[in-house]
Amino acid sequence: MLVNSTTRLCCLIGHPVAHSVSPQMHNAAFKALGLDYVYLAFDVEKNKLKTAVDGLRALGAAGFNVTIPHKVSIVEYLDGLDGKAEKAGTVNTVVLENDLFIGYNTDIYGIAKALEGFNLPEDKAALIIGAGGAARAAVIALLNLGFDEIILANRTVEKAYELSGWVRSMNRRASFCGLDRLGEAAGNCGLIVNATPIGMSPKTDETPLRSKDIPENAIVLDMVYNPLRTKLLKEAEKAGAKTIPGIEVLVHQGAEAFELWTGRKAPIEVMRKAALTALGGEHP
Ligand code: NAP
């Protein structure tokens, strides 16, 4: 399908965006279904966010994704929020609905889908490393999946404390710690989610946890997807734990966004293949 005068616009806004593989993933999906849409990525600095949203509104964009550093600040420029985005307090997807920009958080769905098929030990605590937007999405996903206790660990311990209060306000158990006590915290957990950029390219030798601190029956989900197999996932494998790479979250959060924009079922395998290719990985 050629881009022409009727083509609908979807895009990513963030700063930076050059590393993103969302354009490859979504354009491959539009092409596979023969849809007249195009997906671009725009580097938008913090002080240009309002202007960018006004511009997209004036242009009648079908929707857009939002990434660092705008996932929270975007909320004030939108016309409404979906319930899950409101609960999480962060937005990663915006959809034009009846001329209104409505904010969604598809990371929550992406995390839940990535965990699907795993035997989740809901009777044990879940450890979330990080206290930013991805951690908030992970909290909502894990609470929806039935986890009753969440441990939050963060570099800035005050933010982990804040998030633990938020979890308690939803009537679930929560505790917090700094990264110095991560090993100790992980020992009691059945599920570990890394929601920080630790281990992300180019610092691929970094990991928030070593194998000796990862319980062998744990499930470890790393939200980082570049590299595809992070140091944390390698350490988890060494410990005998089950691992889930961040690309699974990437593909499923993208799939839900695609479905919201187009009303069509997302071609998951096409999207996974495009993302893997863009990240230099293997695909069948
Ligand atoms: P964010 O809102 O900016 O939060 C970043 C979090 O990481 C904060 O808790 C921050 O701690 C911590 N952090 C940042 N640099 C760190 C470092 N060098 N050492 C230790 N902690 C550090 O970002 P986000 O949206 O939550 O994203 C977090 C990660 O998840 C990113 O790598 C992002 O690419 C990934 N992600 C992946 C997907 C996916 O589809 N797979 C979706 C969403 C996010 P402080 O509070 O101390 O600053």
The answer for residues whose C-beta is within 8 angstroms of residue 130's C-beta and 6 or more apart is 138, 153, 154, 194, 195, 196, 223
Please tell me if the CB atom of residue 251 comes closer than 6 angstroms to any atom of ligand 1. no
Angle at 74 between CA 73 and CA 76, to 5 degrees: 85
- Considering the candidates 50, 71, 159, 234, report the single residue annotated as catalytic: 71
Query: What's at 145, amino acid-wise?
Result: L
Q: pLDDT tens for residues 201-224?
A: 999 999 999 999 999 999 999 999
Question: Helix, strand, coil % (nearest 5) of the chain?
Answer: 40, 20, 35
- Confidence grade of residue 284 (pLDDT, cut at 50, 70, 90): very low
Q: pLDDT tens for residues 3-54?
A: 999 999 999 999 999 999 999 999 999 999 999 999 999 999 999 999 999 9
Query: What's at 111, amino acid-wise?
Result: I
Question: Which token pair is 175?
Answer: 């505790």
* CA atoms within 13 A of residue 144's CA, in its CB half-sphere: 17
Give residue 157's pLDDT. 98
Percent of the chain's residues with pLDDT above 90 = 96
What do you get for the CA distance between the two ends of the chain, in Å? 25
Q: pLDDT tens for residues 77-110?
A: 999 999 999 999 999 999 999 999 999 999 999 9
Nearest CA to ligand 1 atom 3: 132
Please tell me if the CB atom of residue 156 comes closer than 6 angstroms to any atom of ligand 1. yes
Q: Name the burial class of residue 29, with classes exposed (0-12), middle (13-18) and buried (19+) by CB atoms within 10 angstroms of its CB.
A: buried
Q: Tell me, yes or no, if 71 is annotated catalytic.
A: yes
* More confident call, 188 vs 168: 168
